[in-house]
Amino acid sequence: MKKIVFPLLMSVLFLLIISCTKKPVKQDSYTIVFYNVENLFDTINDPDKDDEYFLPNSRIEWNTERYLRKLDMLSEVISAIDNNHFPSLVGLAEVENRLVLNDLIRTQRLKKASYEIIHEESSDERGIDVALLYRKEHFSPLYSNNLAVTFPFDPANKTRDILYVKGRFLNDTIHIFINHWPSRRGGQEQSEPYRIQAARTLRETIDSLIRTDQNPMIIAMGDFNDEPADTSVLWVLGANKHDQPFWEDKLYNLMFEKYEQDKGTLYWNGWNIYDQFIVSGILMDRLDRNNELIFKEEWLLYEMKDGTKIPNRTAGSSYYGGYSDHLPVYIRINIQ
């Protein structure tokens, strides 16, 4: 009996060891997120930035406790977008510096993802930048650069740069652009030329890629501060409604259908869909088209007196303690 039991036990032990040490199962799809995180500032005064509103002695009393709460809440959102895996890539807008990015990826929820950071300081007057978080097992950066958005008609005006990142996403080379175009402060009509100039800057770089690469895989994500049908996005950038057939060298706005359905990512006198994903046609057949694209969970919303539910923001005229005034958007890419 002992001669039978011992080999059996050894076989079971061997199988247990193999099952515990095997490599993770390959994913079928990979999630990419963009999130305007609404003024992710630290609590330290930077004399080179307009950060006085986000200090402990400000009107909103931006102290360490509130800063850490904000980080925890943002990590909750990012980790919840994909139930099965952490997002492979996360584009962010309205971050003050690399310090806050380091603090974000080291939160209890996100540290398991081992995110790396791509970020460069820009000359924005408010002191906010865009950035990219990536999981190094999925993405390997090859090159990154800030594309400066300048205004010949208003040279003194400074805005956010567009972050360009070229890298290997699994087995493919991909070109990523993280955008946060000039705001509508002063009115849509008065501010539109600034966003048109941002669109020209992005379009020129994309045209250069198309001339040098055969059917480049392009993902432009961000807070464009314009709707999909506005001049800057539709006509200057050339991000079309995604009707078939798809042309590999054309750009398609994945949020156009949501726009036509009056969906939104930001509530300001009604829903607006400023946060968008725009991709080159070669990627259209790789997208999982069964997703909502806008991450709009009940716990992200605040109910106003009239019953309207809007994004639960962090602060305005006072401190509210919410997540962000924007909802995150996401896409999933299927691997063939």
Find the CATH number of the domain harbouring 50.
3.60.10.10
Structural domain includes residue 9: no
Percent of the chain exceeding pLDDT 70 equals 91
What pLDDT is recorded for position 95? 98
Structural domain includes residue 91: yes
Residue whose structure tokens are 């050339």: 238
The beta strands (E) that lie in the chain are given as 29-40, 89-95, 115-118, 129-135, 139-147, 162-169, 172-180, 217-223, 239-241, 251-253, 266-267, 271-272, 275-280, 301-303, 309-311, 329-334
Radius of gyration of the chain, Cα coordinates, nearest whole angstrom: 22
The vertex-84 CA angle with 80 and 88, nearest 5°, equals 75
pLDDT, tens digit, 9 for 90 and up, residues 282-336: 999 999 877 789 999 999 999 999 999 999 999 999 999 999 999 999 999 986 5
Average pLDDT over every residue of 201-220: 95
Structural domain includes residue 16: no
Average pLDDT over every residue of 234-239: 98
Token code pair at residue 198: 């941002």
What pLDDT is recorded for position 22? 34
Give the confidence band of 34 by pLDDT, cuts at 50, 70, 90. Answer: very high
Structural domain includes residue 204: yes
The total number of structural domains that make up the chain: 1
For residue 63, the enclosing domain spans 30-334
pLDDT, tens digit, 9 for 90 and up, residues 120-157: 999 888 899 999 999 999 999 999 999 999 999 999 99
Average pLDDT over every residue of 43-68: 94
For residue 274, pLDDT over 90 is answered with: yes
Give the confidence band of 28 by pLDDT, cuts at 50, 70, 90. Answer: confident
CA 137 to chain centre: 19
Structural domain includes residue 140: yes
Rounded to an integer, what distance in angstroms lies between the CA atom of residue 294 and that of residue 304? 21
Rounded to an integer, what distance in angstroms lies between the CA atom of residue 176 and that of residue 159? 19
What pLDDT is recorded for position 19? 43
Q: Is the pTM of this model over 0.85?
A: yes
The Cβ-side half-sphere exposure at 188, using a 13 Å CA radius, reads 10
**Residue 295 Rama label (left phi>0; alpha psi -120 to 50; beta):** beta
Structural domain includes residue 24: no
Structural domain includes residue 2: no
Mean pLDDT of the chain: 91
**Residue 310 Rama label (left phi>0; alpha psi -120 to 50; beta):** beta
Average pLDDT over every residue of 33-60: 95
Helix (H, G, I), strand (E, B) or coil at 205: helix
Asked which of 11-20, 88-97, 269-278 is least confident by mean pLDDT, the reply is 11-20
Q: At what angle do helices 98-105 and 64-80 cross, to 10 degrees?
A: 60
Backbone angles phi, psi at 178, to 5 degrees: -105, 120
Structural domain includes residue 17: no
